[in-house]
Amino acid sequence: MNIKFGKKFVKQYSKAPQKIKKAFNLRLDIFRKNPFYPLLNNHYLKGKYLSCQSINITGDWRAIYSETLENKNEGNKSPQIDYRVDNGFQDTIKFSLLKDWKVWFMVRNYDNKKYKIYFTILFYINEKIFHVESKGYYGGKKAWNLNPNNRIVAPGLVIPEKIKEELSKKGTEFEIRIKCRIKDEKNKLIEERLPVRYVYNLDGDSWNFEP
């Protein structure tokens, strides 16, 4: 990945507070490894910045960038794949974990290529592995076939019965970790990513991404 900084950016960066510079450098390291890591909240913009994308630096600071033809044609470019769990997404009903015992799973392909994505879901209780999915689309066995610029939203991630019992205990911490392997149409491995974590907030009945 070849990143070039414009003159305007360099000027703004030089005047930014030290903590913002530090935050930017940390995010840049993440961006180089995986441009669509959930912490970045990488998304396409509209209006004045129609051909640009934005990533989070802090709660108040964003970095805006655009891809050049050179970068788009790079053979070793990381696939632009985003995935996450939540109680609901746009145009879906909302689940309540303690009532419905399942969560939505979303994966989106921002590239103009087809991919085969293999996910393995790991359930953690109090920061220790409690259950690992071993079958089907959440057990790393079946591929999610993603067409170019396509999104799949599935309501099928069911919480195991034994986890329900643990969540009835006071002070239990529950999280879902997602492992991801990305392959091309011929099933050749392109990239294997580090797990991402989503921690359940019992008080708010919500899922929070944790780096």
Confidence (pLDDT) at 116: 97
Fold of 81-210: Immunoglobulin-like (2.60.40)
- Superfamily for domain range 7-72: RelE-like (3.30.2310.20)
Confidence (pLDDT) at 76: 53
Q: Using CA atoms, how far apart are residues 202 and 23, in angstroms rounded to an integer?
A: 29
**pLDDT tens by residue, 67-108:** 875 555 555 577 889 899 999 988 899 999 999 999 999 999
Q: Tell me the pLDDT of the chain averaged across its residues.
A: 89
- H helices present in 34-183, as ranges: 69-72, 97-100, 161-167
Confidence (pLDDT) at 200: 94
Confidence (pLDDT) at 168: 87
The domain locations on the chain are 7-72, 81-210
Q: Taking the model in full, what pTM does it have? A: 0.72
**CA R_g for the chain:** 19
Q: Using CA atoms, how far apart are residues 211 and 195, in angstroms rounded to an integer?
A: 10
**pLDDT tens by residue, 148-197:** 999 999 987 999 999 988 988 888 999 999 999 999 999 999 999 888 88
